[in-house]
Structure 1
Amino acid sequence: MKDRKTEPSDDRPSDVSATGSSTGTAAPSTTAARTAARLAPLVAWADRNPVPGTTLRIVRQLLAVDVRDRVFGMAGQSFLAVIPLLIISSSWLSQSDGRALATALSTRLGLTGVTADTVTLLFSRPEGSAEVSTASGLSLALLFFSVNSFTRTLRRSIEGPWELPKVGWKGQLSGLLGVVLLIVMQVTLAVIAVEWVSTSAAQGFLEGLVRTVVATAFWIAIGRALTHGRLSVARLWPGALVGGVGSTAIAIWTVTVLPGIFERDAARYGVIGVALALVTWLLAFSGLIVLVGVAGAQIARAAGWFTPREDPLVQPLFEQPDPQA
């Protein structure tokens, strides 16, 4: 009975699973081998040239850290942490129950009419509503844990590509400073954009250059804070420059494309549509944060300032790394 059970059948070829000829597709192992063979010349050529080699490593590491999940997770955490923190801060500073923040956002994006009213409705407290101290205390406690979780994610997005070990609660305190610097950077760039009225292409270029320089300086300070001062300015400036250029690109996208998203979503879904438009902006900025950490580390690696434990090009480009490694 045992011999008959292991005997191959005549009407089912034994090599179907190996060749995949019955379905017309190759087996996974064969596909991986063919992909690695096709990519080998490209990887070898890129490794001999600094710019394409560094670019390929940046792409490889972005795939390795699951950039999509990281960006979506960070955007969700920032929506739960940073937006309420801005509303509370605006209410305390201006005594306007969040209306000052809504007005600043509408002015920055050029929103008017129903869209501006919907933004005000999202950020302000309804008229005639009474304050409840118990609910406020619970909200502050939830806000504390949200900010704490967002700070940890933010720190690991910068520390991870540099393979820096965790430093405990001290790093959390400096991470909070990094969050504050991120907010101050956005406020500063928004003020520059509102106050600087460009009437010519030359003035517009100068404005973009000034914003890039200011953002780069902020990104250096943010990197110092998020890494608890363990990376010098000389190592941080390439990633900070990527952040400065990316911040300027997001600023241009914010005033050209994002207002249309706000108007369309507000018209379709009301307050929820404004929240979705805010999440869209947070997704773009979260992607920039992840890119600053990865690009900064890989550029420093190409310059010889940083030697990682493993070379991302050792593995096939599209093969996910072993999580146990």
Structure 2
Amino acid sequence: MAADLSAPGGAKAATEAVLHRLPPWLQRWVNTALDAWPGRILVNTIASFVRIETFDRSMTLAAQFFSSILPIVILFATWGDPDEFAEALDMPEESRSVVEQAVQGAEGSAFGVVGALVVLASATSLSRALTRAFAAIWRLPRPRAKLASAWRWVAVILVLALSLVVVRAVAESMSVLPPREVWPVVASFALDIAVTIFVPWVLLSGDLRPRLLVPGAVIFAVVMLAVRPATQVWLTRALEVSADRYGSIGVAFTYLTWLYVLSFCFLTTAVLGQTIATDPGKLGGWIRRDGVSRAAGDDHAPGPFEDGPGREETRHG
């Protein structure tokens, strides 16, 4: 029977099962490679990737993001100039027409304080989905949904929605500084790191020390340096084709596909960052600032192929 990668120790069992089928001389070489830092990171990242069901969670987050952040964007647009807001988001013409139609409908229904509160309350489903995802990644008990935690959910929603505008605005304001091509990239890189650290730290009630989240945040920011320009080129063309063929519904599905890519990158880099931060090697110890793996349990640091024990003691002391 194949080893279950999602079970504790599943990565080690699966690796050993594969190694037993190799010739003895190749087993020694593979064992040496997997005992090294790159091998440990690769195996444990794959195991965590399977354990949290990254593909399914990415689709869930993409759908939640679409149904939660889009109403917030429309809410912001009703309070200001829709054209300026669309320009700040760098929306293509196909998307701007959809937003304008939604804003006109929202204005007709008197988007007031009560409406804004309803939108924010419904949007917190994204925060709860992100909380479940990060709790699974870090093997933490899922925080209980309490009224006292509502501000955390709302804060994350507002930060994610505003980041869409802030990243663009900051990049444009810094583009006047020489060299003009560098500073916008630096600004986007720094804001990506800040948001990626803030979101899990707030949602998990501070159970994770911010320094443990830095590796995943930096990797995500690096990935976005390549993903953001590529998606801008693809998204413009895809939105044009979808709008011509299917109208508004095509635009919606195109954005949903784009959000799935972003969610997949977000979760994958978070898994990789968690593996690096909890690794028993020197880098993991330096990230944790101790010689023993606090983030993976003080009593037993996981070995090269182990998935780690139950809950990680990650609360800041």
TM-score (norm 1): 0.70
For the residues of structure 1 that align with 2:122 and 2:19, how far apart are their CA atoms?
A: 42
* Structure 1: distance between partners of 2:214 and 2:103: 47
Indicate conservation of the 8 Å contact 1:60/1:313, yes or no. no
Contact 2:238 2:254 (C-alpha < 8 Å) held by counterparts: yes
1:259 corresponds to which of 236, 260, 277: 236
Structure 1 counterpart of 2:225, from 248, 265, 273: 248
Aligned to 1:65: 52
1:223 aligns with 2:212: no
Task: Tell whether 2:90 aligns with 1:81.
Answer: no
Q: In the TM superposition, what is the alpha-carbon distance from 1:99 to its structure 2 partner?
A: 4.0
Check the 8 A contact 1:300/1:306 in 2, yes or no: yes
Match of 1:90 in 2: 77
Q: How does 1:104-115 map to 2 (within 5 A)?
A: 104-105=88-89, 108=90, 111=92
Determine the C-alpha separation between the residues in 2 that align with 1:126 and 1:267. 19
TM-score if structure 2 supplies the norm length? 0.72
Asked if structure 2 preserves the Cα contact closer than 8 Å seen for 1:224 and 1:230, the reply is yes
RMSD: 3.7
Aligned partner of 2:7 in structure 1 is none
* Whole-Å separation in 2 of the counterparts to 1:177 and 1:252: 28
- Kindly provide the CA deviation profile for residues 108-129 of structure 1, in whole angstroms up to 9, marking residues without a partner as x: 25x3xxxx1x322211237986
Please give the alpha-carbon distance, in whole angstroms, between the structure 2 residues aligned to 1:224 and 1:30. 36
Greater Cα radius of gyration, structure 1 or 2: 1
Partner residue in 2 for 1:323: none
Match of 1:125, SS? helix
Q: CA deviation at 1:270?
A: 1.6
Q: Distance in 2 between matches of 1:151 and 1:127?
A: 24
Partner of residue 85, structure 2 = 101
Letter in 1 for 2:202: A
Aligned residue identity for 1:38: V
CA distance in 2, matches of 1:137, 1:199: 43
CA distance in 1, matches of 2:263, 2:44: 20
Equivalent in 130, 148, 154 of residue 130 of structure 2: 154
CA shift in 2, pair 1:186/1:62, >3 Å: same
The one-letter amino acid paired with 1:241 is V
| Structure 1 residues 60 and 178: CA distance shift in structure 2, 3 A | same
Residue correspondence of structure 1 range 307-322 to structure 2 within 5 A: 307=296, 313-314=305-306
Could you tell me which residue of structure 2 aligns to residue 6 of structure 1?
none
Stretch deviating more after TM superposition (77-86 or 184-193): 184-193
Moved more, 213-222 or 54-63: 213-222
2:35 equivalent in structure 1: 48
On the 8 A contact 1:46/1:56 being kept in 2, the answer is no
Task: Label 1:271 to 1:193 Cα distance change in 2 as closer, same or farther (>3 A).
Answer: farther
TM-aligned CA distance change 1:50 to 1:124, over 3 Å:
same
Letter in 1 for 2:159: L
Q: Which residue of 1 aligns with 2:153?
A: 175
Question: Is 1:184–2:173 an aligned residue pair?
Answer: no
Structure 1 position 37 matched with structure 2 position 26:
no
Point out the more displaced range, 64-73 or 249-258.
249-258
* Pair 1:38–1:225, CA change in 2 (3 A): same
Give the aligned partner of residue 8 of structure 2.
Answer: none
Structure 2: 5+ residue stretches without partners? 5-12, 21-26, 285-292, 308-317
Report % sequence identity. Answer: 22
1:173-201 CA-to-partner distances (Å, cap 9, x unmatched) read 3233223222333322222444455999x
Aligned partners of 2:139, 2:214: CA distance in 1, in Å? 18
TM-superposed deviation, 1:266: 1.6
Compute the displacement of 1:151 (Å): 0.9
Aligned partners of 2:46, 2:3: CA distance in 1, in Å? 21
- Contact kept in structure 2, 1:212 and 1:244, CA below 8 Å: yes
